[in-house]
Amino acid sequence: MADGSIGLWTVPLAVLGGAIRVSTPFLFVSLGECITERSGRINLGLEGTLVMGAMSAYGISYLSGSPWLGVLAAGITGALLGALHAGICSLPRVNDVAVGIALMLFGTGLAFYLGKPLIEPTAPRLPAIDFGWWSDIPQLRAALRVNVLFLIGVALAPILYWAFRTTRWGLLIRTAGESSDAARAMGHSVLLIRLRATMVGGFLAGIGGSFLSLFYPGSWNEGLSSGQGITAVALVIFARWDPLLCLWASLAFGGAAALGPALQSVGVTSGYHLFNAAPYILTLAIMIITCSPKRTLTGAPAELSITR
């Protein structure tokens, strides 16, 4: 220990640190998608929204010098992409899954195009809060350097859970998702509810992107997302459209992503490809354990095009 190494403790610590560092984009995208899907629509385009959010946050932070302005810009960009998705989907006979895939490609392509000049400059980053001040182990302190966005995300999950159950807005979103006829009979425009839900979902996904470029890994480049947006969309199904389960699932994915590198660093070097695949193995395992051919997925909104 004299040389500053903590040996095998690296692995649980890295998983903890990874859960905190890597999970935030998963958390924001999955909570956003949770809102959208509860209203009865799937937005697969959130991968593109995530990348656009990352790019615009980095660009605005670089140009204005304020990372928080970057976060706001990322949210607005995400909301606009959400509005685009909802707008196209409100036309008759449009498939939301197909539109989502188109917007995923559009978002990433546009972000790469606009983000070209942003790869080289270094933008101001979001600050971290040091929760490890009580410890004198530098590794633990590093793992506990937490960003405010992570805390907001963690707080947002129970708030959404509560809002879906007890607020008027939550009820409206759920009604639109469970039975659009019922919502229409109550005198509400289903399209308007879904437009708002998709915009809020896009807003959150954009903020998730800003975390990637402004906090961790903390710079803009084209490989930044490497599929995290689409993973987070799948995570919503995995979490059964429950915001609280989204939180746990995101943390598990973040921790699992850190497992591969951490095991290699302590000398478990065989089969690292397998450990790198840990998050996906976890998903498959849980999907297989919980699925049943006799019923539809529990918790799935009835209006969702994949369940209808």
Partner 1 sequence: MDFGRISRRHLLQGGAALTLGAAAGARPAFAADTTIGFIYVGSRDDYGYNQAHAQGAAALKKIPGLKVVEEEKVPETDAVEKTIESMINLDGATLLFPTSFGYYNPHMIKMATKYPKLRFEHCGGLWSDKDPKNAGSYFGYIDEAQYISGIVAGLTSKSGKLGFVAAKPIPQVLRNINAFALGARSVNPKATTQVIFTGDWSMPVKEAEATNSLIDQGVDVLTCHVDGPKTMVENAARRGAFVCGYHTNQSALAPKAYLTGAEWNWEALYPKFVKMIAAGEGIPNFYRGGLKEEIVKVSAYGESVSAEARKAADEAKAKFLSSDGFAIFKGGLVDNKGKTVIAAGTDRGQKDPELEKMDYLVEGVIGATS
Residue numbers at the binding site for partner 1 (CB under 8 A): 3-6, 10, 13-14, 17-18, 21-22, 112, 116, 119-120, 122, 139, 142, 212, 216-219, 221-224, 226, 228, 257-258, 260-262, 264-267, 269-270, 272-273, 276
User: What tokens does 216 get?
Assistant: 């961790």
Least Å distance, CB 99 to partner 1, is 25
Instruction: Give the tokens for residue 83.
Output: 């509005």
Instruction: Return the number of the residue (99 or 262) whose C-beta is nearest partner 1.
Output: 262
Task: Select from 122, 63, 110, 59 the least CA-distant residue to 84.
Answer: 110
Question: How would you class 27 by CB atoms within 10 Å of its CB: exposed for 0-12, middle for 13-18, buried for 19 or more?
Answer: buried
Query: Please, which residue, 106 or 222, has the CB nearer to partner 1?
Result: 222
Which is nearer to partner 1, 17 or 32 (by Cβ)? 17
In whole angstroms, how close is the CB of 14 to partner 1 at the nearest point?
5
Dihedral pair phi/psi, residue 128, rounded to 5°: -110, 150
Q: How far is the CB of 65 from partner 1 (least distance, A)?
A: 18
Pairwise CA distance, residues 112 & 188, whole Å? 39
Q: What share of the chain is helix, strand, coil (3-state, %, to 5)?
A: 70, 0, 30
Q: Which two tokens stand for residue 235?
A: 């995570």
Smallest gap from Cβ 33 to partner 1, in A, equals: 19
145 or 240, CB closer to partner 1?
A: 145
Residue 54 to residue 56: CA distance in whole angstroms: 6
Nearer to partner 1, 10 or 198 (CB): 10
**Cβ atoms 173, 243 nearer than 8 A:** no
Q: How far is the CB of 59 from partner 1 (least distance, A)?
A: 15
> In angstroms, how far apart are the furthest CA atoms of the chain?
71
Shortest distance, CB of residue 44 to partner 1, whole angstroms? Answer: 21
Nearer to partner 1, 6 or 286 (CB): 6
